[in-house]
Amino acid sequence: MQDFITRLPKAELHLHIEGSLEPELMFSLAERNGIALPYASVEEVRAAYQFDDLQSFLDLYYQGMGVLRTSEDFFDLAMDYFRRASAEGVLHVELHFDPQPHLARGIELEAVIEGLARACRLAQRELDLSTALIMAFVRDRPAEDAMQVLERAAPYWEMLDAIGLDSAEHGHPPEKFVEVFERARALGIARVAHAGEEGPPAYIEQALDLLDVCRIDHGVRCLEDSALVERLREEKMPLTVCPLSNVKLKVVERIEDHPLPQLLDAGLLLTINSDDPAYFGGGMRANFLACQRAFGWTETTLLRLARNAIEVAFMDEARRHELL
């Protein structure tokens, strides 16, 4: 089964590139940039990755990304992940990146985007891995900041496949970002948003009604509202589910308690993703394998889930045809 999962043509639609920063690379970038880490060893970093909820993870995630300073660092970060993902049989990666915490540390947007974009071009050439870029706004900062970042990204609008919305969900409903998402829509940029990870089903509804998103990141709490589930099914709205993330952040207690089987029974368009693989215990293969073991999924189910991602990915039709 492990071989079948590795060979399965996989597309990853929900990945925070800053969350792919493995402790080894964290140490080498810290050294390169003369940054002191609050850890003595790689093992100590890994041992610190015990989370109670989304916020306790975000605290370490924002701290960890502090080692990223130059365009080269962002390039190395992305290439490091692309090589690992490619070795697991991932053929397409859509990466969220969070400009705001980098800008707040005095890193230029150019360094972030140009480093990532250079890695994307090399991945295509060297690994036959296609990619898409999703510029995410952190929802626990003011909407005005997000709007400023969107305007500042004008030289890169053409390169963005979508904008996204992430970070602490409680108390930061999608409606806060209506104007930013309206602006992106006017610019012809696609929109996705995290909703219903820790937040209530109403946030999923808002993301659909007010932000006009083409998919929902996480979305697992939709099950608390049967009318919403029916709507998501009718609209064939993709959910980018992240099983190991949900266990690590205690959205569910154990993988066996994950609502994926109910979501599948409800006829929803689901995809499997890793979210922040360096923090949550593995990449795409580990996520597929954990689900297969917990739910006894057949090859047919695994294939269906992998194909779903390819069908709704931001990729040109020639590439989609090649992967399907």
- Does 216 contact ligand HPA by CB under 6 A? no
CA gap 305, 40 in Å, rounded: 40
- Does 22 contact Zn ion by CB under 5 A? no
CA gap 163, 191 in Å, rounded: 5
State the nearest-atom distance from the C-beta of 271 to ligand HPA, in Å: 15
Question: Which residue, 92 or 96, is less far from Zn ion as judged by CB?
Answer: 96
| Single-letter residue type at 186 | A
- Does 76 contact Zn ion by CB under 5 A? no
Binding residue for ligand HPA, selected from 61, 81, 203, 288, defined by CB under 6 A: 61
State the nearest-atom distance from the C-beta of 14 to Zn ion, in Å: 6
Q: Name residue, tokens 């190991």.
A: 244
Q: Which residues, 6 or more positions from 40, have their beta carbon under 8 angstroms from its beta carbon?
A: none
CA atoms within 13 A on the CB side of 59: 9
Whether 24 is catalytic is no
Question: Which residue, 167 or 308, is less far from Zn ion as judged by CB?
Answer: 167
Q: Which of 12, 22, 169, 197 is catalytic?
A: 197
Stretch that binds Zn ion, among 40-48, 155-163, 252-260, 268-276 (CB under 5 A): 268-276
Instruction: Tell me if 276 is assigned to a ligand binding site.
Output: yes
- Does 19 contact ligand HPA by CB under 6 A? yes
Question: Which residue, 74 or 97, is less far from Zn ion as judged by CB?
Answer: 97
For residue 52, the Cα-to-chain-centroid distance in whole angstroms is 20
Bridge partners of 197? none
Instruction: Tell me if 275 is assigned to a ligand binding site.
Output: yes
Bridge partners of 164? 136
Question: Which residue, 245 or 271, is less far from ligand HPA as judged by CB?
Answer: 245
For residue 278, the Cα-to-chain-centroid distance in whole angstroms is 12
Cα torsion at 224, 227, 230, 231 (round to 10°)?
A: -110
Alpha helices (H) in the chain, listed in sequence order: 2-7, 23-32, 42-48, 54-64, 71-87, 99-104, 109-122, 143-152, 178-186, 201-210, 226-234, 243-248, 260-265, 277-280, 284-295, 299-312, 317-323
Question: Which residue, 80 or 276, is less far from ligand HPA as judged by CB?
Answer: 276
State the nearest-atom distance from the C-beta of 1 to ligand HPA, in Å: 27
CA gap 147, 140 in Å, rounded: 14
Binding residue for Zn ion, selected from 205, 232, 275, 289, defined by CB under 5 A: 275
Binding residue for ligand HPA, selected from 22, 76, 80, 276, defined by CB under 6 A: 276
- Does 275 contact ligand HPA by CB under 6 A? yes
Rule CB under 6 A: which residues touch ligand HPA? 16, 19, 54, 61, 166-167, 194, 197, 245, 275-276
Which residues are annotated as catalytic? 197
